[in-house]
Amino acid sequence: MSATTPLDFDHVELLIGAVQTAEEANAKAVRNTVLSPRFYTTDFKALDKLDVSPVRAEWDAMMKEYEGDNNHDHFQRDAAFADEVRTLMPQLSPEMRQEFLDFLISSLTSEFSGCILYNEIRKNVSNPDIKQLMTYMARDESRHAGFINQSLKDFELGIDLGSLKRTKAYTFFKPKYIYYATYLSEKIGYARYITIFRQLERHPDKRFHPIFRWFERWCNDEFRHGESFALLMRAHPELLRGLNRWWIRFFILAVYATMYVRDHTRPLLHQTMGFESTDYDYTVFRITSEIARQVFPIEVDIDHPTFRACMTRLVELSVGHARAKERGGLFGALGQASCAIRAVWTFARLYFVPVKENALPAQVRVQAAW
Ligand SMILES: [Fe+2]
Ligand SMILES: [Fe+2]
């Protein structure tokens, strides 16, 4: 563990909460915290008015790829899957097992969040371009969520997706926030999966679960989903100008900070793969920032010393908040409030770290070459 990872196992347990039963797994998926994936709803009428004609040629080429569906047979387990699970899982320590379960549950929740949002948009719009796109993306996310759920079922911790859909709270986001946040989460999803895949390709002895063998073709779906939002935003350049630049800056930092804090609750997961959480996250930031040059007019400076110091501070404050919550009572409440205020202040400092200007390329789409 590096000096920038101020967590030990007690802190990790505090932050992620142990899961032993299917009820606990389902409760964890339903619960909304600052760090957990959420479900979203939006203004469907505004989405119905989107016009992709300024990017028609690139759009049509992308729709052909969706139609070709090169992953239609990918999300099925092979003969070796069950054997690998049987051999590898008993080798994990109980702490590591908890971190892996936390990873599966949060990944499933965010895959399913995409599935629900895209499906709801599909049902509520009549614009044929948007309807078709949402149909394809919901198809992909439903496969992804289902595939992760099979692995949770191996632990008898399957999530009841129907009940999750009915019981988890929905957050309303204006359409432009949906474009910024969803673009980022798709591209970050790609960067996370491909970074893990490449690492385990180099070190197959560290592949402690067969699901990681699926990540390469899987992350190409996420990459393409991100491309779709890049095209939608580039077709409406007003989304990328003026005050919206400040919103873009906000969303990049919010998404990066949430991921950073969340990942630092799972140091063992990364260690087992031969990573260190901080290095893994900066690799993911770097890939995401490089890709996002296709659409965002600004880029946050991930190498700025204040950026790095603020990220570390947010992890410390998150641990402090969890400790105060466990302590309870008046002092616990005061401790929580103090950590929350300092986290807002730290995020404000992060927000004013100077950004880099980026001139947008004429061709929007990029290749998934990482
Ligand atoms: Fe997905
Ligand atoms: Fe996706």
Give the pLDDT confidence of 266-322 residue by residue, as tens digits.
899 999 999 999 999 999 999 999 999 999 999 999 999 999 999 999 999 999 999
Taking 60 as the threshold, does the pLDDT of residue 3 lie above it? no
pLDDT value at position 8? 58
Q: How far is the CA of 185 from the centre of ligand 2 (A)?
A: 8
Q: How far is the CA of 243 from the centre of ligand 1 (A)?
A: 30
Q: How far is the CA of 346 from the centre of ligand 1 (A)?
A: 31
Q: How far is the CA of 93 from the centre of ligand 2 (A)?
A: 31
Q: How far is the CA of 169 from the centre of ligand 2 (A)?
A: 20
Q: How far is the CA of 337 from the centre of ligand 1 (A)?
A: 35
Q: Give the number of whichever ligand sits closest to the CA of residue 144.
A: 1
pLDDT value at position 31? 87
Mean predicted confidence (pLDDT) in 154-161 = 94
pLDDT value at position 207? 96
Torsions phi, psi for 287 (to 5 deg): -60, -45
pLDDT value at position 359? 97
Across all residues in the chain, what is the average pLDDT?
94
Helix (H), strand (E), coil (C) string for the chain: CCCCCCCCHHHHHHHHCCCCCHHHHHHHHHCCCCCCCCEEECCHHHHHCCCCHHHHHHHHHHHHHHHHCCCCCCCCCCHHHHHHHHHHHHHCCHHHHHHHHHHHHHHHHHHHHHHHHHHHHHHHCCCHHHHHHHHHHHHHHHHHHHHHHHHHHHCCCCCCHHHHHHHCCEEECCHHHHHHHHHHHHHHHHHHHHHHHHHHHHCHHHCCCHHHHHHHHHHHHHHHHHHHHHHHHHHCHHHHCCCHHHHHHHHHHHHHHHHHHHHCCCHHHHHHCCCCHHHHHHHHHHHHHHHHHHCCCEECCCCCHHHHHHHHHHHHHHHHHHHHHHHCHHHHHHHHHHHHHHHHHHHHHHHCCCCEECCCCCCCCCCCCC
pLDDT value at position 10? 56
Q: How far is the CA of 139 from the centre of ligand 1 (A)?
A: 10
pLDDT category, 137, cuts 50, 70, 90?
very high
Distance in angstroms (rounded) separating the CA atoms of residues 81 and 101: 17
| Dihedral over Cα of 309, 99, 325, 254: its sign | positive
Q: How far is the CA of 334 from the centre of ligand 1 (A)?
A: 39
Distances (CA, A) of 79 to 145, 155, 218: 21, 18, 19
Q: Give the number of whichever ligand sits closest to the CA of residue 185.
A: 2
Percent of the chain with pLDDT over 90: 90
Q: How far is the CA of 225 from the centre of ligand 2 (A)?
A: 5
Distance in angstroms (rounded) separating the CA atoms of residues 339 and 323: 10
Distance in angstroms (rounded) separating the CA atoms of residues 311 and 50: 36
* Strand-pair partners of 172: 41
Q: How far is the CA of 220 from the centre of ligand 1 (A)?
A: 9
Q: How far is the CA of 312 from the centre of ligand 2 (A)?
A: 28
Distance in angstroms (rounded) separating the CA atoms of residues 263 and 285: 13
**Which stretch of 1-15, 110-124, 160-174, 236-250 has the lowest confidence by average pLDDT?**
1-15
Taking 90 as the threshold, does the pLDDT of residue 331 lie above it? yes
Mean predicted confidence (pLDDT) in 32-57 = 93
**What are 202's two structure tokens?**
């180099």
Q: Give the number of whichever ligand sits closest to the CA of residue 187.
A: 2
pLDDT value at position 18? 79
pLDDT category, 2, cuts 50, 70, 90?
very low
pLDDT value at position 1? 40
pLDDT value at position 32? 82
pLDDT category, 4, cuts 50, 70, 90?
very low
pLDDT category, 143, cuts 50, 70, 90?
very high
Q: How far is the CA of 27 from the centre of ligand 1 (A)?
A: 22
**Residue 358, phi-psi category: left (phi > 0), alpha (psi -120 to 50), beta (remainder):** beta
pLDDT category, 56, cuts 50, 70, 90?
very high
Q: Give the number of whichever ligand sits closest to the CA of residue 141.
A: 1
Q: How far is the CA of 346 from the centre of ligand 2 (A)?
A: 30
Q: How far is the CA of 284 from the centre of ligand 2 (A)?
A: 16
Q: How far is the CA of 137 from the centre of ligand 1 (A)?
A: 8
Q: How far is the CA of 323 from the centre of ligand 1 (A)?
A: 33
Whole-structure pTM value = 0.93
Q: Which residues contact 235 (CB under 8 A, 6 or more apart)?
A: 50, 51, 52, 53, 54, 55, 59
Q: Give the number of whichever ligand sits closest to the CA of residue 188.
A: 2
Structure confidence by residue, pLDDT tens digits, 63-103: 999 999 999 999 999 999 999 999 999 999 999 999 999 99
